């Protein structure tokens, strides 16, 4: 569900990039802005897993990598396509 939320958030960023700028550079900028925001959201997800769900950092770290990389890879694909 978190990964799907990241894909939806990327779509929102790209939508705003399309609305605020009409060229491909605006889409690339929106996708570039998404990546650090998604890193923070993924880190918060890890923090919740460690502090509230009782997992250790060692158990949550691979989940953080997967949760971050899938939407970030899609953002990189959007940057590549817009360039």
Tens-of-pLDDT digits for all 83 residues of the chain?
Answer: 999 999 999 999 999 999 988 788 899 999 999 999 999 999 999 999 999 988 899 999 999 999 999 999 999 999 999 88
pLDDT of residue 83: 83
Cα gap 83→74, rounded to integer Å: 14
Cα gap 6→4, rounded to integer Å: 5
pLDDT of residue 47: 94
pLDDT of residue 22: 79
Give this prediction's pTM: 0.90
Question: Which value, in Å, is the radius of gyration of the alpha carbons in the chain?
Answer: 14
Number of domains composing the chain: 1
pLDDT of residue 54: 87
Q: Which domain holds residue 11?
A: 2-82
Q: Report how far Cα 54 is from the mean position of its chain's Cα atoms.
A: 24
pLDDT of residue 69: 97
């Amino acid at each position: 569900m978190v990964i799907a939320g990241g894909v939806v958030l990327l779509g929102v960023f790209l939508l705003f990039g399309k609305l605020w700028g009409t060229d491909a550079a605006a889409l690339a900028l929106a996708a570039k802005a998404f990546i650090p925001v998604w890193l923070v959201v993924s880190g918060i997800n890890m923090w919740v897993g460690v502090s509230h769900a009782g997992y250790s950092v060692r158990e949550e770290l691979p989940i953080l990598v997967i949760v971050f990389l899938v939407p970030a890879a899609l953002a990189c694909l959007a940057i590549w396509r817009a360039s």
